[in-house]
Amino acid sequence: KRFDLRPELATEVPTKENGGLSEDGLTWTFHLREGVKWTDGQPVTAKDVVFTYELVLEARKLNPMLMLANLVDGIESVTATDDYTVVFKTSKPKANMLVGVVASTPIVPEHVWSKIPVKDVAGTYEPTPPLVCSGMFQVVGYEHENYVNFAANKDYWDGAPKIDKLDYLFY
């Protein structure tokens, strides 16, 4: 069986056939799903995606060992052409763009994270739950190397999860 990617925040996987990937493999265009909201009710937009990648790129300058730093290698720019379209330009074709860069980088809400200094993000900053997110589950409790408590996001764009809470224990 083929390994098919399933887009979530994006409406489709960019390919050369659908115009989402340029012929030279340097420009990736993602169309975001409309109507997706952060758990605080604010809409998720292309500006959040641009903010997230610019934050990681800036934090990487301060801390090259930052967990996501290597994923953004080769990304020259990230722009929002409208509220639901994001364009990535790379310096060379990027084989890990879909399964590494895009799939592994959690998009963060600009209206929350823009208040946190980049030097803190590049350091040891740990946000305090509940975390504003757009995923199926929201982090509502956390203790470093001990546990993470998740609560179902009842307003998740693809329908509420079938369970109300999930506790992840480290041992």
**Could you read off the pLDDT tens digit of each residue along the chain, which spans 171 residues?**
456 788 889 999 999 999 999 999 999 999 999 999 999 999 999 999 999 999 988 888 887 777 666 778 889 999 999 999 999 999 999 888 888 778 778 899 999 999 999 999 888 888 899 999 999 999 999 998 899 999 999 999 999 999 999 999 998
Write the secondary structure of the chain as one string of H (helix), E (strand) and C (coil). Answer: CCCCCCCCCECCCCCCCCCCECCCCCEEEEEECCCCECCCCCECCHHHHHHHHHHHHHHHHHCCCCCCHHHHCCEEEEEEEECCEEEEEECCCCCCHHHHHHHHCCCCCHHHHCCCCHHHHCCCCCCCCCCCCCCCEEEEEEECCCEEEEEECCCCCCCCCCCCEEEEECC
Q: What is the pLDDT of residue 71?
A: 78
pLDDT tens digit sequence for 140-156: 999 988 999 999 999 99
91-124 pLDDT tens trace: 999 888 888 778 778 899 999 999 999 999 888 8
- pLDDT at residue 78, as a whole number: 96
Query: Of 16, 2, 76, 84, whose CA–CA distance to 49 is shortest?
Result: 84
- What pLDDT shows up at residue 61? 84
